[in-house]
Chain A
């Protein structure tokens, strides 16, 4: 069983870290929350909507960035933005404004007409995140968004996450990096399909008498 009686609440505008070893059930949980998989039992509410009956309403209000890289490699930066903006029904005028603003912020103005396939991984990930929140969702789910990138790029990526949280978007993020866990408002640690711990990083460190999240994690997931 990948997920066994998970119970948790995430508050609006919070950065919620979802930790666990490989195969602990993080991805399964996130897929259920995004409506990609169906749960066998239990009550799930996302952005105030019931996951069984209001799946499509949930989908209007969430963003998702998966482990696998999810922009179209054979489309340009601008075409990818156009595609997702179109799906969420954002008007062409509004899209152009936001697109210009976004590319300026990311410093990718020149890459507008370039194919995704030719961009560095760090750029792709920042762009994928920005596309995932392009339609101003209530919650964004990030499934190991920073896998395989250097610490500097990761730090910049987290700046984007903070910015999104400040704008009132709830961030639900899974990660393997314990330094990233420290950036979260609250974290939950999963092991074998169950949530073993759920609190702020500071309180978890206190409870497990650890100096950093790495030690907390090792004690739980050992």
Chain B
């Protein structure tokens, strides 16, 4: 299990959680059937990830395909487009995008309108006799993406998935273990011994701390092997931070198990925290773009700090000084959760 879980999570989740756009299925409803409309369609057709399907010249079939999820978008070219373009100097196009997945829809819209815009400029240039690539006044932007130059989404997801992985392993295993002792009764035998509360809790923490760090190492290795994940920063720093982080996560897991009596209860409560922590922790959406209240709530969310630490060290090569704020916060959370667990652990009932 200790090997299988990280392996599967890394290989399956990283691919599954990708936002990369590989293919756009677009239905073209061409009611104009003119030279201009065909030129426009050819523009789309020339782009490898647009897969065009030509429907009969009315929208209903296209809409059906959209509804059955066979199409991502419909481009409707109205009749007389070419004519009104020549006569009135303007024409209308309709782009219908399947927005079940809002992110994808935005991307399709952005790509498509860029293509249409480009086509439009060329058209103007052609008709008005201005050379194609010298539009009158235009500011050109050249993009260069830092830290992940090819915008490989897997590089972005892998550190995030890894952060979640060690969290799940740490929190569930530590919590389940203690409460299991309650269920089978061995805890009583320990409670009649002079073992100190802090000794007991730390004894329960250390093995899982080691296992979780080991899994982090294993997961990183897989990510490096399979996704070519670059590890720009220091591994020592990464594991040091992870060590601090895990004290907090394991402390929380143990705290939960001190306030519950059965494994079901532990699962239920841990799941609650996990889901909230993960969704608010910034694996998909950056914490910075969340509403203010969510950012405030994230101050006590260990995953949000660790997510940043993982990505910044791995992709950006951040040093200790850059991550000072995260380090201090994680230390504070670790001390808090661990103290709560020790305080709440009762040798008497």
**Main DSSP-derived SS at the B contact region:** loop
From B191, which residue of chain A is reached at the shortest CB distance? A36
By a CB distance below 8 angstroms, the chain A residues around B347 are 35-36, 55
How far, in Å, is A92 (CB) from chain B's closest CB?
18
Checking B189, B195, B349 against A70 with a beta-carbon cut-off of 8 angstroms, the contacting residue is B189
Tell me, yes or no, whether B296 is within 8 Å of chain A by CB: no
Interface string of B327-349 (1 = CB under 8 A from A): 00000000000000000000111
B188 adjacent to chain A (CB < 8 Å): yes
Complex Cα gap A88–B194 (Å): 7
Docked Cα-Cα span, A188 to B69, in Å, equals 79
Q: Is A82 an interface residue (CB 8 A)?
A: no
Residues of A within 8 A of B193 (CB): 59, 84, 87-88
Q: Which of A31, A35, A37, A66 is within 8 Å of B189, CB to CB?
A: A66
Q: Contacts of B191 on A, CB cut-off 8 Å?
A: 35-36
Give chain A nearest CB distance to B208 CB in angstroms: 16
Complex-state Cα separation, A38 to B186, whole angstroms: 19
Contact of B188 among A38, A56, A66, A84 (CB under 8 A): A66
When distances are taken between beta carbons in the complex, the residues of chain A under 8 Å from B294 are none
A36-B348, A36-B349 as given contacts; A68 in contact with B194, CB under 8 Å: no
Q: How many A-B Cβ pairs are below 8 Å?
A: 50
In the assembled complex, the Cα of A70 lies from the Cα of B191 at a distance in Å of: 11
Interface size class of B (residues with CB under 8 A): 10 to 19
Cβ contact within 8 Å between B195 and A87: yes
B321 within 8 A of A: no
Q: Would you give the 0/1 interface string for A63-76, flagging 1 where the beta carbon is closer than 8 Å to chain B?
A: 11010111111000
Contact present for A37 and B348 (CB under 8 Å): yes
How far, in Å, is A17 (CB) from chain B's closest CB? 20
A73 to B186, CA, bound (A): 10
CB interface residues, B 167-224, toward A, < 8 Å: 184-186, 188-195
Whether the Cβ atoms of A72 and B186 lie closer than 8 Å is: yes
The CA of A66 and the CA of B194, in the complex, are separated in Å by 17
Q: Is the CB of B185 within 8 A of A68?
A: yes
Query: Do the beta carbons of A37 and B188 come within 8 Å of each other?
Result: no
Does the CB pair B348–A70 fall under 8 Å? no
Q: Chain B residues near A38: list those with CB within 8 A.
A: 348
Chain B residues packing against A (C-beta within 8 Å): 184-186, 188-195, 347-349
